Amino acid sequence: MDIVSTQQKQKMHPHKFTLWVAIGSIIMMFAGLTSAYIVKSNQTNWITVELPKAFWISTAVILISSLTLQMALRSFKQREMNKYRLLIGITVILGVAFVVLQWFGFQELWAQQITFRGAGAGQFLYVIFGLHAIHVIGGIITLLIMFIKAFVGKTKLYSSIPVEVAAVYWHFVDLLWIYLLLFFLIIGG
């Protein structure tokens, strides 16, 4: 009996496994896009882009949101549901603020005549940062559903798996944003 229970504890939950497969796929997609950027940036008519200030503010916002989500996870595990509800709500608000700040950043780029047309980093910024924003929006939707369930649903089983999966994904999109920002600062500048 001990051998069976030990083996069951060593297995990864299917949702966590699926998440890691998805993260691997997302990493490959962004690795391909940033590699294409490096190759294209060697063209003679390449135009570099200075990142908008809104992107820096959004970086602080997404970092804070990772902290609030980690605190929410801890609160859930400790069965402090009021604190969990508050922190998951703050995380949703910060996630939305990140996307709004990204929108302002793109408007600033557009005002500088940095568009999809022509050779340069602008094309890649819109595609890469836009794809990242879509992944963040997916995370926001997940967090919003968890927020609603925290108020509407009755928690009979305090399984932290959904919160853990959401937290890992959210931390991943956070780290992905940091990577992309550093990439465009170091390679793109």
Decide if 69 contacts 91 (C-beta within 8 A).
Answer: yes
Tell me whether residue 174 is in a domain. Answer: yes
pLDDT of residue 76: 92
Lowest-pLDDT range, 61-65, 122-126, 129-133, 157-161? Answer: 157-161
Cα 19 → chain centroid:
13
Model confidence at 156: pLDDT above 70: no
- Residues 7-13 have a mean pLDDT of 69
Range of the domain at 34: 16-186
pLDDT of residue 107: 92
What's the total number of domains in the chain?
Answer: 1
pLDDT of residue 39: 86
CATH number, domain containing residue 33: 1.20.120.80
pLDDT of residue 119: 62
Q: What is the mean pLDDT of the chain?
A: 86
pLDDT of residue 8: 57
Burial class (CB in 10 A: 0-12, 13-18, 19+), 50: middle
- Residues 169-180 have a mean pLDDT of 94
